[in-house]
Chains A and B, each alone.
Chain A
Amino acid sequence: MKTTLQVIHWLFVLAMPILLVGVVNRTKSWWAGRKGPRILQFAYDLQRLLGKRPVESATATPLFRAGAYVVLVSAVLATGMAPMLGQFAPVRFPHDFVVVAYTLGLARIALMVSAMDVGSSFEGMGTAREAAFSTYAEPALFLLIGTAGAATGMTSFADLIGHLHNTPYYAIIVAPLVLCLLILLQAEAARVPVDDPLTHLELTMIHEVMILDHSGPELAAMQFAAALKMTLYAGLIAALVNPFNPLTSPAACVLASFGLMLAVALVVGCVESLTARLPMRWVTHYLLIASAAALGCMVVVGLGAGN
């Protein structure tokens, strides 16, 4: 059964990025009253990009192209290790969440290096923003994990998330934790209100401006990696909410997880349709909400255990 779960987990890693992007775009076009692209349009886009001969900046070094694949491989590894189905992950050992977080960190530094590599002022600007905002996002994830670890007494990522359902504080802390993860999703996967993937103005972009000079297969790698990050966080939210245990009721758990991830994409799409992106100077405050939510949960857990 574990093998089946493994296969399903990796299917999620490969297929969900495409589906989630499709659902987000469908939701947005539904709000705008358009018919919208096919759900699988992202897959066709990737296929088209893979066949294209890229154009590279004359300034670029070999690091430019290498960066795109480092981003892709790291994102696949991180998503592969994240417990998207609740108390299950293909690879798990004590403190594996550090590996997940820092592999994403490697992806980020590779992205920033390949953006800086073309010597463009716009891409430098995007890199500076990405670097600055990530310093606000990173602690939130660790605060969340610290809270879950203290509440459950577990050490591996899957156990932390899975056992949280059995703790007495679950009903209180689940909402702030989901909010925290949703904000992290918007920051890491470059969605509104942190960043707008559809903006046409380079001055207001973060992620898109960093990949302005990427084309062909490298652009496909970067875009797939961004969608993977969204999948990772959507998966974590799904695992946090999912009431079924993958080890006892696998079918229900997988279906619930699938549905919940699509629901997260729906929420992301609705947020994107109904709000504008924040001014840059407010983005840090918005990201601090994630840390504050996790800190609040920490206090709840501390007070709860004290009594």
Chain B
Amino acid sequence: MNQLILAVLALVIGAGLCLLNLDNRVRAALGLCSQAIAMVLVWSVAVPVMMGGPDVAGGISWAYPIEAVHFRLDALGAFFLSWSLPMTLLGSVYAVGYLRKYFSGPRHVGVHFALLNMVALSFVLVYTGDEVVSFLFGWEVAALAAWQLVIWDYTNSKVRFAGFNYLVSTHVGLLFLVAALMILYTHSQSWAFGDIGRWMSGHPGTLRNVVFLLLVTSFGLKSAFFPFHSWLPRAHAAAPAHVSALMSGVIHKAGLYALLRFTLLAGKPDEWMGWFLIAFSVTSAVIGGLYTVGQRDLKRLLGYSSTENVGIAGIGIGIGFLGLSWDSPALAALGFGGGLLHVLNHAFFKCQLFYAAGCVYQIKHVIDMERLGGLFKLMPVTGACFIIGGVAISALPPFNGFASEFMIYSGLFSNVGMGIWAKLTLGLVAAALAFVGAVSALSITRAFGVIFLGNARDPRLPEGREASRWMLVPMGIHALGTVVLGVVPVVGFALVAHPVSLFLHAAPAGGGALDAVVGILTRIGLISGALAAVIVTVLWLRSRFAALSPRRNQTWGCGYDLPNARMQYTGAGFSTDFSQRFRNIMVLLKRQKAPVGYFPRDSYVITDCVDAVERRLYNVIDHGDDTAVELSEKMREDDPRLAFSAGLAAIVIIASLVLLAEGALQ
């Protein structure tokens, strides 16, 4: 407990020191040092808890009206805490490389590092909070810090808009969360999670269902589930690479954490909650996946793939819900285990991919894939990290994404006692998951092929080779994690085993369920390891045959001898055929001017894959605005009938909401 308080102090003091009137380098160093100290302190508490030690609990007295702040670190919180802080530290190290050119300038870089400290602080608060006040406080710190981090390049109006969009969305989510918490407070008369949990597990029924839906909406907004994702592509495209990485990989996992936390509190869930969560997550995964296909902007692409991956983790959690409601610990272990492992794996490979995108941006100053090309030869480390992350994100062996998806598939195809239609429905979900895997393979191949392979498309872009080591090392550490968790998935499972067993305590007889999973994962690890080893051996053997070392020649142009870089296949060419078939889901805007006459001057085709939800949202807002203006023109403000009917309408709405939630008043 003391270590946690010290860690919070270290982060706050570090953030304060970053703001002092010092050299930018010193500020960054202070930020990194304080984060490293906090990380070691938190590890010293969290790692024993995560590996099965007793919970750490404590409290501090506070002034009225809060009175006391309670903390409790259990295995679930410890699991999230144990990788969130180190990844934030790696992100901050990356920030040193990314922002280095500002260090000698007049800009106050310390603010950025102070905000990164606040992000780390918010993790400590959210993942250890045992009552609503500290939880919400941490939640809000994370949201505000992330907003400030996104608008680093605030002189650009697009970036400001993206930040504002994020700020509004995240607070809409907060409203739902507060609504749910208010319902819970009125019934449990307490802000403590323990009391809330006692009420939730003891009172299944309409009100708990309402709370569940409100919570899923709020946490769905936080984790960018479809259709609550519309802030995400903009924010990820606008933010600096490390901020996008941290938001996508680490900060927004708080939404899934909170969902799991309230699942623990709620005790045995209803069956419909599991099906609802699965349907919600499958939609997210499929549509998020489809949207990755049409993007030109690499960071937007990676942003959509977050929506896809939280969907995959959500499918796991939904299976866990079903397992709990059917009293099947084996299914619950596979579901929650797969979901949690996917959260961790996603944090590893998504940060890695964003870091690679940042390295590309740092050197070339563009992230539009149609202007890049042939970067693998210039930036082999970045390229290798990108393709490792890409294979992992497509859930292919031998990397880590495969291990977690395998667990989720095991849950979907499990043969525990369930109805035949339930089994077949889960089979359909598995088919959807297979589709998502193939789609993400498509978009990752497209991104990697167009950006890193072939020849450079735009000779006007700045020259340059690998980015600085400050950026390569964090990316490499993430890549190492991706490989290790793939080849030795048992390590990942050891990390999630105790958090998962928390859920199994809620179900009867949760003993041997986890052992079966370990057995399967060991085999997966062996197969992945063997696959990797054989591939490496074959390649080594091939390189020994000097007699067969290749001659170099031009790429085969099917008889055409003067190919140039502009003749390569483009990203748009790669995806348009596929996207066209899903044009009901994805909006493809096309503007073109056809060539006219014998010597056409300016002709162009511009295709743009815009977000259907966002477009619809703004359409509604625009129309709503117009309607309101029209209405207000018709009505006279001093008309007493207007005030009267408005008041009546408000009373009816409030009364019906109360009746809906509470039943008839006694």
Query: Among the listed stretches B57-65, B131-139, B402-410, B599-607, which one makes contact with chain A, having 4 or more residues with CB under 8 Å of it?
Result: B402-410
Stretch at the interface among A20-28, A67-75, A191-199, A226-234: A67-75
Give the interface of B toward A (CB within 8 A).
Answer: 373-374, 376-377, 383, 387, 390-391, 394-398, 402, 405-406, 409-410, 412-415, 420-421, 423-424, 426-428, 430-435, 437-439, 441-442, 444-446, 448-450, 453-455, 519-520, 523-524, 527, 530-531, 534-535, 538-539, 542, 545, 547-558, 563, 565, 567-570, 573-575, 577-578, 581
Which residues from 250 to 279 on chain A have a C-beta closer than 8 Å to any C-beta of chain B?
none
Within the complex, the shortest CB–CB distance from B375 to chain A, in Å, comes to 10
A120: contacting residue among B426, B446, B557, CB under 8 A: B557
Q: Which residues of A sit under 8 angstroms from B575, Cβ to Cβ?
A: 128
**B434 near A138: Cβ-Cβ < 8 Å:** yes
Q: Residues of A contacting B550 with CB < 8 Å?
A: 53-56, 65, 215-216
The distance in angstroms between the C-alpha atoms of A217 and B426, with both chains bound, is 43
CA distance A6 to B548 in the complex (A): 34
B330 to chain A, nearest CB (A): 11
Taking the closest CB of chain B, its distance from the CB of A222, in whole angstroms, is 14
User: Are A112 and B531 within 8 A (Cβ)?
Assistant: no
Contact present for A57 and B556 (CB under 8 Å): yes
Q: Are B441 and A131 in touch, CB under 8 angstroms?
A: yes
Q: CB distance A63 to B557 under 8 Å? A: no
* Contacts A/B (CB < 8 Å), 21 sampled: A53-B547, A53-B549, A56-B551, A56-B552, A93-B523, A95-B409, A95-B410, A99-B527, A102-B437, A109-B390, A112-B449, A116-B445, A116-B454, A120-B557, A120-B563, A138-B438, A143-B431, A146-B413, A149-B423, A153-B415, A217-B545
Given contact pairs A54-B548, A99-B527, A106-B391, A119 touches B374 in the complex (Cβ within 8 A)? yes
Once the chains are docked, how many angstroms separate the CA of A155 from the CA of B330? 14
Q: A113-B453, A213-B556 are in contact. Are A139 and B531 (CB under 8 A)?
A: no
Q: Are B395 and A102 in contact (CB under 8 A)?
A: yes
Chain A residues with Cβ below 8 Å from B548 are 52-54, 216-217
Whether B542 lies near A65 (C-beta < 8 A) is: yes
Chain B residues lying within 8 Å of A59, measured Cβ to Cβ, are 374, 454-455, 555
Q: Report if A41 contacts B (CB, 8 A).
A: no
A301 at interface, CB cutoff 8 A: yes
Whole-angstrom distance between the alpha carbons of A282 and B125 in the complex? Answer: 56
Closest to B399 in A: A106
Bound state CA distance, A99 and B377, in angstroms?
A: 32
Q: Is the CB of A171 closer than 8 A to any CB of chain B?
A: no
Question: In the assembly, what is the distance between CA of A221 and CA of B426, in Å?
Answer: 37
In the bound complex, CA of A70 to CA of B523 (Å): 20
Which residues of chain A have C-beta atoms less than 8 A from B530's C-beta? 77
Q: Are A128 and B578 in contact (CB under 8 A)?
A: yes
- A14: shortest Cβ distance to chain B, in Å? 15
User: A95 contacts which chain B residues (CB < 8 A)?
Assistant: 406, 409-410, 413, 520
Bound-complex Cα distance A149 to B396 (A): 22
Indicate if A249 sits at the interface (CB-CB under 8 A). no
Q: Decide: A149 near B438, CB < 8 A? Known: A113-B387, A113-B449.
A: no
Contact A138 B387 (CB under 8 A): no
A33 at interface (Cβ–Cβ under 8 A)? no
Q: Which residues of A contact B553 (CB under 8 A)?
A: 55-58
Residues on B with C-beta less than 8 A from A65 are: 539, 542, 550
Q: Interface on chain A toward B: helix, strand, loop, or mixed SS?
A: helix
Asked whether A84 is an interface residue with its Cβ less than 8 Å from the other chain, the reply is: no
Closest 6 CB pairs of A and B: A124-B569, A146-B427, A119-B454, A116-B449, A131-B442, A305-B420
Proximity bits, A72-103, B CB within 8 Å = 1, else 0 = 11100100000000000001011100110111
- Closest residue to B427 on the A side, CB-wise? A146
A189 at the interface (CB under 8 A from B): no
Q: How many Å from the CB of A291 to the closest CB on chain B?
A: 8
A149 touching B413 by the CB < 8 A rule? yes
Most chain B C-beta atoms within 10 Å of own C-beta, residue among A69, A128, A147, A154: A128
Chain B nearest CB, measured from A268 CB (Å): 23
Contacts A135-B578, A146-B424, A216-B550; A63 near B387 (Cβ below 8 A): yes
Q: Specify the chain B residue showing the minimal Cβ separation from A52.
A: B548
Given A72-B538, A113-B448, A116-B453, verify A108-B556 contact (CB < 8 Å). Answer: no
Task: Report the minimum CB–CB distance from B635 to chain A (whole Å).
Answer: 53
Residues 185 to 243 of chain A near chain B (Cβ within 8 Å):
202, 212-213, 215-217
B432 with A139: CB separation less than 8 A: yes
Given contacts A116-B450, A134-B441, A155-B414, 12 further A-B contacts (CB under 8 A): A55-B550, A56-B552, A61-B453, A77-B531, A102-B406, A109-B441, A117-B453, A122-B557, A127-B449, A149-B413, A216-B548, A217-B548
- Contact: B427 with A150, CB < 8 Å? yes
A155-182 interface (Cβ within 8 A of B): 155
**B408 (CB) vs chain A CBs: closest residue:** A98
Q: How many A-B residue pairs have CB under 8 A?
A: 258
Q: Given the complex of chains A and B, what is the CA–CA distance between A102 and B554 in angstroms?
A: 34
A145 at the interface (CB under 8 A from B): yes
**Contact A124 B430, CB 8 Å, known A61-B453, A131-B445:** no
Instruction: Report the count of interface residues on A (CB-CB < 8 A).
Output: 78
Please state if B565 and A119 are interface contacts (CB–CB under 8 Å).
Answer: yes
Residues from chain B with Cβ under 8 Å of A146 in the complex: 412-413, 423-424, 426-428, 430-431
Are the C-beta atoms of B424 and A301 separated by less than 8 Å? yes
What are the residues of chain A within 8 A of B430 when measuring CB–CB? Answer: 142, 145-146
- The residues of A that contact B412 with a CB separation of less than 8 Å are 146
C-alpha spacing A113/B545, complex, angstroms:
23
A141 within 8 Å of B by Cβ? yes
Q: A22 to B421, alpha carbons, bound, how many Å?
A: 44
Taking CB atoms, residues of chain B closer than 8 Å to A3 are none
B445 engages A109 (CB within 8 Å): yes
B538 touches A125 (CB 8 A): no
Q: How far, in whole Å, are A145 and B434 apart by their CA atoms in the complex?
A: 12
User: Min CB distance, B369 to chain A, in Å?
Assistant: 12
Cα–Cα, bound, A95→B430 (Å):
12
In-complex Cβ contact of A142 among B434, B545, B565 (8 A)? B434
Contact status B413-A302, CB under 8 Å: no
Contact B434 A101 (CB under 8 A): yes
Chain A residues with CB under 8 Å of B567's CB are 121
User: Smallest CB-CB separation from A61: which chain B residue?
Assistant: B376
Partner of B427, one of A99, A149, A284: A149
A142 surroundings in chain B (CB, below 8 A)? 427, 430-431, 433-434
Cα(A94)–Cα(B441), bound, Å: 25
CB of A298 closer than 8 Å to a CB of B: yes
> Which residue of B397, B439, B552, B569 is within 8 Å of A135 (Cβ)?
B439
Q: Are B552's CB and A103's CB within 8 A?
A: no
**In the complex, which residues of chain A have a beta carbon less than 8 angstroms from the beta carbon of B524?**
99
Contact B520 A139, beta carbon cutoff 8 Å = no
Q: Which residue of B lies closest to A153 (CB)?
A: B415
What residues on A are CB-neighbors of B421 within 8 Å? 302, 306
Note all chain A residues with C-beta closer than 8 A to B414.
155
Contacts of B387 in A (CB 8 A): 63, 113
Interface residue A8 (Cβ < 8 Å from any Cβ of B): no
Q: Answer whether residue A7 sits at the interface, using C-beta atoms and an 8 A cutoff.
A: no
Enumerate chain A residues within 8 angstroms of B552, measured Cβ to Cβ: 55-58
Which B-chain residue is minimally distant from A216 (CB atoms)?
A: B548
A61 engages B377 (CB within 8 Å): yes
Minimum CB distance partner of A201 in chain B: B558
CA–CA, A73 to B539, complex, Å? 11
Q: Complex formed: what's the CA distance from A117 to B450 in Å?
A: 9
> Do A155 and B441 touch across chains, with their CB atoms under 8 A apart?
no
Partner of B402, one of A54, A102, A116, A119: A102
Residue A15 CB within 8 A of the other chain: no
What A residues does B374 contact at CB under 8 A? 59, 119
In the complex, are the beta carbons of B442 and A120 less than 8 A apart?
A: no
Indicate if the CB atoms of A63 and B376 lie closer than 8 Å.
yes
- Cβ of A128 and Cβ of B573 under 8 Å apart? yes
**Which residue of B has the minimal Cβ distance to A298?**
B424
Nearest to A117 among chain B residues (CB) is: B453
Report Cα–Cα, A239/B549, bound state, in Å. 41
Query: Looking at the complex, which one of B420, B520, B538, B545 makes contact with A73 (CB distance below 8 Å)?
Result: B538
Q: A145-B413, A146-B427 are in contact. Are A135 and B454 (CB under 8 A)?
A: no
